[in-house]
A and B are shown apart, each in its own frame.
Chain A
Amino acid sequence: EAQVTQNPRYLITVTGKKLTVTCSQNMNHEYMSWYRQDPGLGLRQIYYSMNVEVTDKGDVPEGYKVSRKEKRNFPLILESPSPNQTSLYFCASSPSDSQETQYFGPGTRLLVL
């Protein structure tokens, strides 16, 4: 089944404790992206990747890192999480760029205490 998977789905952590949220897609898509969603703000793009080893900042990249060493995986790294990074995170992929349909993962709900 074609899908985007994220792990973990739910995470509670404490300020400053490094964490990684994994994202994987099995559709051989070039484009992948991370978003965060907060009440009243819709989805805001954090980082995106056009292909392996090619990444760029979205609108809210501060406090996040990403890597794209393989086509199928696009992990989101929070080196030193803070409470303002408490949010719902979505990973997405699409065949080439954002003009194509983006397929979203199920979301990761993160609480930073």
Chain B
Amino acid sequence: LAKTTQPISMDSYEGQEVNITCSHNNIATNDYITWYQQFPSQGPRFIIQGYKTKVTNEVASLFIPADRKSSTLSLPRVSLSDTAVYYCLGNTGGFKTIFGAGTRLFVKA
């Protein structure tokens, strides 16, 4: 199961693009990369998942380079409501889950 490392916090302004990078040096061949978002006093919410290259949905994009030792979550044109904690996870398809401390994103007006 991949252990992940993320920046503790990031600041941004409304309308900017935010990129949060996650390091997962020991990621296994079968690991997917999954990102969750958590607002205060709420449970985490799934944002996006990928295995390699680029994945995009209505909320975010996920970039995973060829060596898969890192991934970058990209949030286009953030708003105040994107202020939250973002977690990246390495999933093997097994049952144990390690969330880590996450990245606290603060969006300012």
Contacts and interface: CB of A to CB of B under 8 A. Distances in A.
Interface residues of A, number: 29
Interface in A88-108: 88, 90, 92, 97-99, 101-107
Given A104-B44, A106-B42, A107-B43, A35 B95 contact: no
A48 B95 contact: yes
Contacts of A109: 41
Contacts of A99: 32, 34, 91-94
Contact of B95 (A4, A97, A106): A97
8 contacts: A40-B101, A42-B85, A48-B96, A97-B95, A99-B93, A99-B94, A101-B46, A101-B49
A31 B97 CA distance: 12
Contact of A45 (B44, B45, B96, B101): B96
B63 to A, nearest CB: 20
Contacts of B98: 45, 59
B94 to A, nearest CB: 6
B43 A48 contact: no
A44 interface: yes
Please classify the interface of chain B as helix (H, G, I), strand (E, B), loop, or mixed, using the class held by over half of its residues: loop
Nearest to A42: B101
A43 B41 CA distance: 12
B95 A43 contact: no
A41 B97 contact: no
A31 B43 contact: no
Contact of B46 (A45, A48, A102, A107): A102
Contact of A48 (B32, B36, B41, B97): B97
B13 interface: no
A44 B44 CA distance: 12
A102 B97 contact: yes
Contacts of A42: 85, 87, 99-102
Given A48-B97, A98-B97, A102-B97, 13 more contacts: A41-B101, A42-B85, A42-B100, A42-B102, A43-B44, A56-B95, A58-B97, A97-B93, A97-B94, A99-B94, A102-B44, A104-B44, A107-B42
